Amino acid sequence: MSMETVVLTGAAGSVGSVLREPLRRRLRRLISVDRAPLTAGGPGEEVRQAELGGVEDVRPLVEGADAIVHLAGVPDEAPLADLLEGNVLGTHHVLEAARLAGVGRVVLASSNRLTGCYPAAQPVSAEMPPRPDGVYGVSKVAVEALGRLYADKFGLEVVCLRIGSLEPEPSEPRHLATWLSPRDCAGFVWAALTRPGLGFTAAYAVSANTRRFWELDDDLGYRPLDDAETYAGRVPGAAEFFSDGQLQGGLYAGADYTLRHALGGTPS
């Protein structure tokens, strides 16, 4: 699938910062967008400072693009109103702008926390029902549902990447299952942009970790290269984390995490 011009939203965030350089090297034109000011990383990259508050804000940014990688949004547990505004409505604005502008494909940032309440001992595929570990995960269920709607109803090609723990290297026991290396992150996104024949696809973006929770999707055609097990000797507490009864979301799946970060309360 030919890919020359891509719009990257949320380009100043943790995932966007990892993707800008590898995308710039492979594209004729990368348009990096964020509410924060950006500086172009080199030839072929253009930067835009913009809010994605409405379809009318997004459409001028995406006219003429082959695809959009939509990363902008609230990145963690937060009050539901903020998540609806930043993640659900923001995604709707991007999808609707893509439809109106005739953009062929949109890659959406979903999250592994959409299934964080499954047991750590249970392998999970993208076809299994969501079990979000908080209201942030709930917002990503809605994001994927919007993507499915636009694929089914309007013929837009939509890939939802359930992004793992993107870090330079694993730093805690859960990462031995959930780690996504920077080069595997770039590999998954490029596959999501260029793999032909995709209608709607939801897939986990995670490195080839020996202890990973999630099944990889062959439809994307990318096989990850890195394994968190390489770093296991530097990560204390792994045996306790992978014991019976642990949930895949780890601390994110605890009631206290949502109460403190999203509901403004404390455990009773």
Angstrom distance (rounded) from CA 161 to CA 42: 27
Cβ atoms within 10 Å, residue 32: 27
Angstrom distance (rounded) from CA 114 to CA 139: 8
183: exposed, middle or buried (Cβ count in 10 Å: 0-12, 13-18, 19+): middle
Among 135, 46, 52, 51, CA closest to 89: 52
DSSP label at residue 77: -
Q: Are 164 and 228 a contacting pair, CB within 8 Å?
A: no
Q: Are 27 and 67 a contacting pair, CB within 8 Å?
A: no
Q: Which of 118, 136, 252, 257 is catalytic?
A: 136
Phi-psi region of 64 (alpha: psi -120 to 50; beta: other; left: phi over 0): left
Angstrom distance (rounded) from CA 225 to CA 207: 7
* Catalytic-residue membership of 204: no
Cβ atoms within 10 Å, residue 57: 13
34: exposed, middle or buried (Cβ count in 10 Å: 0-12, 13-18, 19+): buried
Distance of CA 212 to the CA centre of its chain: 17
Give the active site residues.
Answer: 136
